[in-house]
Amino acid sequence: MPRKKVGKSVEEAAGQELLSLDQAAAALKVSRSTLTRWLSEGRVKGFKVGRQWRFKQADLNKFSQMAHPSAAAVNVSEVEAVLEQLSAPGEREFEFVDPVLAGYPTTEEEKALDRLFVALAYRASEANASDIHVDGERDASVVRLRIDGVLQEVARLPISVHRALVACVKLHSGLAVDQTQVNQDGRTRIRVKGDERDLRVTTMPSILGETVVMRLLARDYEVPDFDRMGMMPEDQERYLRALRAPCGLLIVSGPTGSGKTTVIYSGLERIVAPHIKAYSIEDPVEFSLRGITQIPVVRKTGMTFEHILQSLMRADPDVIMVGGMDSQVVGEKCLQAAITGHLVLSTLHAQTTAAAITRMLEIGLEPFMLAETLVAVMAVRLARRVCQHCAEPDEPAFSALSLFAERARAGGYTLPSKPRFLRGQGCEQCSGYGYRGRTGLFEVMEMDPELCQMVLERAPAKAIQEAAVKKGMTTLVADGMRKAAEGITTVVEAMRVTQGADV
């Protein structure tokens, strides 16, 4: 009869050793804040003893030894060939601010993948890209950068590299490598030539493997002023008058990535002062602003837009920014805040200013509440600028120009007899695309008694827009035509970004 085992082996005892939060962070070679984030996201096992976190050494060992299983299948020479095309940075030009897992990378394959990830992040940062997309295809892994709002392919990797590169990105951003059938969100910090940036990572499962999108966010974000955004003086005056209102609702509308949040940030910077208490509710908070209390939405803890808005009513606010008013519940909370003496700024997904009003009525907001609180509505787009290093005179096609000019005339702008059309022929500065940087296109509807009465009567969007144009508003199409005629952008680009901007 076998003897019953008594006690534990040395290895088992060591595995059951309990470590404090600081000791666990030191064991994993990460910061205390990083370990706390992993805990909140459920990626590291830990448990509470009283009010203190405790960790089993065995759980930490398992976590720190987790490596991506596909690295061994990577051909290092193929990765090195891609690195030559991407012009990998030197050691002093790029570094990860947040340390990764203990002992990573170890093998030559993992080191090659790490260098590839660094090269992609560096290339994106140098090109001032907003996002990096890594998508698996049947025979390749395609890497694209979103530069000035347009995706541009920069590399095609062997398909054998795709899964391993995704796992490498996951390790750096604190995601679970073994979870490939669910979407995950994480982040890490990088430093490029001394400038720190946040890298926000999203992974999604697909039939051809996981796809990864990495968004680059500058930590020292400088909000552009109205002139840098390309806002015309008359639109600036309308926007500033709305911002100076003692209370009411100000809406900025447009599709995703059109610059809505940037426009609101720029407006807040103009009005925030020591005697004004300003809050923002955002999902997520992408940039830190001075003088504003920024509150992130965390749905799993109950910190939703509507819950935070309700709580802010007892926090003595003067100005409240709400990063998204696309539901009836949130919209009603915004109207309640505006009608009780607060200035509320929010964003909305709508094509034009008049369409934004229609959208708010469609989601169930009461016309009399909108008519009483609405101060102004703005619509915004981002158009690529002509590269000034390779700009040359342009002659747009007559058919396209005449049609666009007619739309602009209906929107409040008449094309001059001698416009200054330009186009970029392509150079090293713009990577051959002819565009470099972006400018804003704006449409600002300042509410008055007549327009408020039309809202109360649920007038059609077209009628509201026509009435606003008669009062001096210029539409997005008109602003695009004006900027094309001044050589800031092209007619083709202005037409592209204002598709659907007619009502």
Contact 179, 171 (CB under 8 A): no
Q: Are residues 171 and 192 in the same domain?
A: yes
- H helices, E strands: number in the chain: 19, 19
Q: Are residues 381 and 254 in the same domain?
A: yes
Contact 265, 289 (CB under 8 A): yes
In a domain, 4, yes or no: no
Of the candidates 128, 107, 114, 11, which has an alpha carbon nearest to the alpha carbon of residue 58? Answer: 11
In a domain, 363, yes or no: yes
In a domain, 9, yes or no: no
What pLDDT sits at residue 285?
84
What pLDDT sits at residue 103?
57
Q: Are residues 276 and 405 in the same domain?
A: yes
Q: Are residues 170 and 268 in the same domain?
A: no
Q: Are residues 197 and 230 in the same domain?
A: no
Domain count, the chain: 3
In a domain, 10, yes or no: no
In a domain, 503, yes or no: no
For the range 325-328, what are the long-range contacts, defined as Cβ-Cβ under 8 Å and sequence gap of 24 or more?
325/251, 325/360, 326/363, 327/363, 328/363, 328/364, 328/365
In a domain, 31, yes or no: yes
Q: Are residues 301 and 236 in the same domain?
A: yes
What pLDDT sits at residue 160?
83
Q: Are residues 150 and 296 in the same domain?
A: no
**Cβ partners under 8 Å of residue 239, min gap 6:** 226, 231, 267, 376, 378, 444
What pLDDT sits at residue 69?
52
Q: Are residues 272 and 377 in the same domain?
A: yes
Output the CA–CA distances (angstroms, integers) from residue 232 to 5, 71, 225, 483, in the order listed: 82, 53, 12, 10
Say what angle helices 32-40 and 21-28 make with each other, to 10 degrees.
100
Q: Give the residue carrying structure tokens 């907003």.
A: 130
**Cβ partners under 8 Å of residue 95, min gap 6:** 190, 191
End-of-domain residue from the set 47, 64, 81: 64
CATH number at residue 34: 1.10.10
Helix, coil or strand: residue 379:
strand
Q: Are residues 204 and 249 in the same domain?
A: no
Cis peptide before 105 (omega within 30 of 0): yes
Say what angle helices 260-271 and 233-243 make with each other, to 10 degrees.
70
- DSSP lists the bridge partners of residue 377 as 251, 445
In a domain, 5, yes or no: no
Q: In whole angstroms, give the CA distance from residue 487 to residue 438.
A: 13
Q: What is the dihedral of CA 159, 84, 203, 351, to 10 degrees?
A: -110
Cis peptide before 396 (omega within 30 of 0): no
In a domain, 378, yes or no: yes
- Please give the chain's pLDDT, 503 residues, in tens: 444 444 444 334 444 678 998 888 877 766 787 788 778 767 678 888 888 899 988 877 766 555 455 566 678 888 888 888 887 676 677 878 876 665 566 778 888 888 899 889 988 988 889 999 999 988 889 999 999 999 999 999 888 889 889 988 988 888 877 778 889 998 888 888 888 888 999 999 998 889 999 999 887 678 889 999 999 999 999 999 999 999 999 999 999 889 999 999 999 999 999 999 999 999 888 788 889 999 999 888 889 999 999 999 899 999 999 998 889 999 999 999 999 999 999 999 999 999 999 999 999 999 999 999 999 999 999 999 999 999 999 999 888 899 999 999 999 999 999 999 999 999 988 888 899 999 999 999 999 999 999 999 999 999 999 999 999 999 999 999 999 999 999 999 999 999 988 76
What pLDDT sits at residue 63?
66
What pLDDT sits at residue 367?
96
Of the candidates 163, 144, 140, which has an alpha carbon nearest to the alpha carbon of residue 152? Answer: 144
Q: Are residues 117 and 58 in the same domain?
A: no
Entry pTM:
0.80
Q: Are residues 294 and 433 in the same domain?
A: yes
Q: Are residues 213 and 112 in the same domain?
A: yes
End-of-domain residue from the set 218, 236, 268: 218
End-of-domain residue from the set 64, 80, 96: 64
* R_g over Cα of the chain: 27
CATH number at residue 243: 3.40.50.300
Structural domain that includes position 60: 15-64
Helix, coil or strand: residue 131:
strand
What pLDDT sits at residue 406?
95
